[in-house]
């Protein structure tokens, strides 16, 4: 059983929904970014989404783009992001880590080399936003064979004809993008999201986690009430970008986690 599967089994047993927090590795710099990541489990985070900075982040809004720029300017690389996982695993062997980003840095490193390094570092899942199901042979299938979950995005435009293709080789959980467009823009509405989550859950036994447009503890609670959990990224990254202290960032994360766990 993967760490992700084990986490969801534990949450189900506890009657809780999953809180997933996204942060950009290396933002605002290596040391402060790592301190935040290490503090996430104690703030109530069930699964960590670790962003890999990239020069052309087409799916991301301004907040995440700026975080990526800060990280790149501070010298963050794919290797240093793997090092985050290695450092984290010294003290935590249960919290799942999902790397989220784009295919180019992985392709440049070499898929086989990357997967070997990712497994050794303790990475549990991948979300690669620019690899559609038609490209599963590139990374998805090799990742699954290596024991890493490959998590797919479903969106409001994923119709019933497309959905089976999206779900075909997905594992870990399904990430439902609650709003059309880029990260950090429109606000997710539980009433709009509920029928979409139900539609996906009718086609898969995997947990369905909702992200994009969740900015407050109340919004996280509302979304968690109709899904298996909530993802918050831009709202957390915005606090980091404003230079808030690690303690203040983690206090905000805890408020989001508490909201989700009430859902």
Model pLDDT, residue 178: 87
**Over residues 131-150, mean pLDDT:** 97
Residue 237 has pLDDT above 70, yes or no: yes
Q: What percent of the chain has pLDDT over 90?
A: 90
- Is 41 in a helix, a strand, or coil? helix
The mean of the pLDDT values for the chain is 95
**Over residues 246-259, mean pLDDT:** 98
Q: What is the DSSP letter of 134?
A: G
Gap between the Cα atoms of 27 and 3, Å rounded:
25
Task: For the chain, give every domain's residue range.
Answer: 3-262
Q: CA 60, 169, 211, 124 torsion: positive or negative?
A: negative
HSE at residue 148, side-chain half, CA atoms within 13 A, is 29
pLDDT tens for residues 178-215? 876 655 556 778 888 999 999 999 999 999 999 988 99
Residue 48 has pLDDT above 80, yes or no: yes
Residue 132 has pLDDT above 90, yes or no: yes
Is 3-262 in CATH node 3.20.20.70? Answer: yes
What are the catalytic residues? 49, 60
Gap between the Cα atoms of 79 and 31, Å rounded:
15
Q: What is the chain's length?
A: 263
Model pLDDT, residue 181: 60
Please identify which residue in the block is written with the tokens 């549990």: 124
Residue 115 has pLDDT above 70, yes or no: yes
**Over residues 111-123, mean pLDDT:** 98
Model pLDDT, residue 182: 54
Which H helix or E strand runs over 21?
Answer: strand 18-24
Tokens of 34: 């790592």
């Amino acid at each position: 059983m993967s760490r992700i599967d084990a986490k969801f089994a534990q949450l189900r047993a506890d009657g809780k929904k999953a809180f997933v927090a996204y942060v950009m590795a290396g933002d605002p710099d290596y040391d402060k970014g790592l301190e935040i990541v290490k503090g996430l489990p104690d703030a109530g985070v069930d699964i960590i989404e670790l962003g890999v900075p990239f020069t052309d982040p087409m799916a991301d809004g301004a907040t995440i783009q700026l975080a990526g720029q800060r990280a790149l300017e501070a010298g963050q690389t794919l290797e240093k992001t793997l090092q985050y996982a290695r450092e984290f695993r010294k003290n935590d062997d249960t919290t799942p880590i999902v790397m989220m980003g784009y295919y180019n840095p992985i392709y440049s490193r070499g898929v086989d080399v990357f997967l070997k390094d990712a497994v050794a570092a303790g990475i549990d899942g991948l979300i690669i936003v620019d690899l559609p199901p038609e490209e599963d042979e590139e990374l998805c299938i090799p990742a699954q064979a290596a024991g890493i979950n490959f998590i797919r995005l479903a969106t409001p435009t994923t119709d019933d004809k497309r959905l089976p293709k999206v779900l075909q080789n997905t594992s870990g959980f399904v990430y439902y993008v609650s709003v059309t467009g880029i990260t950090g823009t429109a606000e997710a509405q539980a009433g709009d999201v509920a029928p979409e989550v139900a539609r996906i859950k009718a086609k898969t036994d995997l947990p369905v986690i909702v992200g994009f447009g969740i900015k407050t503890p109340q919004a996280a609670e509302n979304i968690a009430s109709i899904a298996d959990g909530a993802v918050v990224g831009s709202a957390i990254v915005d606090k980091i970008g404003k230079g808030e202290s690690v303690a203040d960032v983690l206090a905000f994360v805890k408020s989001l986690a508490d909201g989700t766990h009430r859902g």
